[in-house]
Amino acid sequence: MDTLNIAGKSYNSRLLVGTGKYKDFEQTRAAIDASGAEIITVAIRRTNIGQNAGEPSLLEYLPPEEFTYLPNTAGCYSADDAVRTLRLARELLDGHKLVKLEVLGDPNTLYPNMLETIKAAETLIKDGFDVMVYCSDDPIIAKQLEDMGCAAVMPLASLIGSGMGILNPWNLQIIIENAKIPVLVDAGVGTASDAAIAMELGCQGVLMNTAIAAAKDPVLMAGAMKKAIEAGREAFLAGRMPRKLYSASPSSPTTGLIG
Amino acid sequence: MIHLTINGNPRQFDVERLTVGELVEKLGLAGKRLAIERNGEIVPRGSFAEAVLDSDDKLEIVGAVGGG
């Protein structure tokens, strides 16, 4: 069985999805069901006090017993804020250790601040967390994160929410070749072919949110992403034919032609 | 009177003594899945009833929301 293995647990789905930007919780749930994702990311935010007391919560639509929650540190700009956020997440989710660390460096591009990310990862790993880390597509940084003890490295394909696809497949390939831990593309996927390309490069999985949530029909796109991830994975395992400028070897027999 | 900062906002409670558990009740959050940080330290859910708040404590009360 070809499974995704992260921090000692195996998963059948290689598509990890976010839970933000949907129209409502019903649509969130429907899209996640269509995606087949087993790991879903959530954000940690201040509770509204004194407002909407009876309002349903995300956890009612996506019970933590049914999914592996991956709390994230989206919106954190310092190692300290990221560590505090994930300690709160661990308490919120009854000691849950698997987390997505991201420390941003700039509110316009949402590009990661790798110095702060590394600082936070160090503290979190010492504190017993299994850290899946959002990072730049720098092969040296990715290796350092692995050596520190991260559970997975998750380089960006392109900027968060940009939908620009995989801008530097060569760097991704170097990261994948060097890594002994799972490499997942996180951020930048725009449509199904982007996800398939990531998997064909040898990524162990893809994490996405906007590509599904911002599609005209998010549920349909979620299904498309599921198929793309599976197709890309199988193509990777199958091993593609080499690229040639031209081939003097047609697919049909060269003998037995009439005339 | 106990003065607290809760999620960045000042709040006052006209009581002599207030535990985290009582505060959660007063805020209408009882039974909700949440996590609380007090002056930068996690207050474990199991100890809400014993954790007595001091004036000028800074609290963060958080939950899980949709995100990517």
Average pLDDT over residues B37-48: 95
- Asked if A209 and B29 come within 8 Å (Cβ–Cβ), the reply is no
CA A95/CA A151 separation, integer angstroms: 17
Query: Tens of pLDDT along B24-40?
Result: 999 999 888 899 999 99
Closest CA to A183 of A146, A209, A149: A146
Tokens 């509110």 belong to A107
- Asked if B37 and A21 come within 8 Å (Cβ–Cβ), the reply is no
pLDDT tens, per residue, chain A with 259 residues: 899 999 999 999 999 999 999 999 999 999 999 999 999 999 999 998 876 666 778 888 999 899 999 999 999 999 999 999 999 999 999 999 999 999 999 999 999 999 999 999 999 999 999 999 999 999 999 999 999 999 999 999 999 989 999 999 999 999 999 999 999 999 999 999 999 999 999 999 999 999 999 999 999 999 999 999 999 999 999 999 999 999 888 899 989 999 8
CA B15/CA B3 separation, integer angstroms: 10
- Asked if B6 and A92 come within 8 Å (Cβ–Cβ), the reply is no
Confidence (pLDDT) at A39 = 97
List b or e across B4-24, with b for residues whose CB sees 16 or more CB atoms inside 10 angstroms. bebeeeebebeeeebebbbbb
Closest CA to A158 of A171, A174, A142, A139: A171
ipTM for the predicted complex comes to 0.94
A207 forms beta bridges with A16, A186
Confidence (pLDDT) at A245 = 92
Helix crossing, A114-126 with A139-148: angle to 10°? 10
Put simply, whether B37 touches A (Cβ < 8 Å) is yes
- Asked if A49 and B62 come within 8 Å (Cβ–Cβ), the reply is no
Whole-structure pTM value: 0.93
CA distance A257 to chain B (A): 58
Put simply, whether B13 touches A (Cβ < 8 Å) is no
Closest-CA residue of B relative to A59 is: B64
Please name the member of B34, B40, B68 whose beta carbon is closest to the beta carbon of A47. B34
- Asked if A49 and B6 come within 8 Å (Cβ–Cβ), the reply is yes
Please name the member of B9, B35, B66 whose beta carbon is closest to the beta carbon of A91. B35
Tell me how many residue pairs between chain A and chain B have CB atoms under 8 A apart. 105
Catalytic residue annotation of A: 100
Closest-CA residue of B relative to A58 is: B65
CA A130/CA A124 separation, integer angstroms: 8
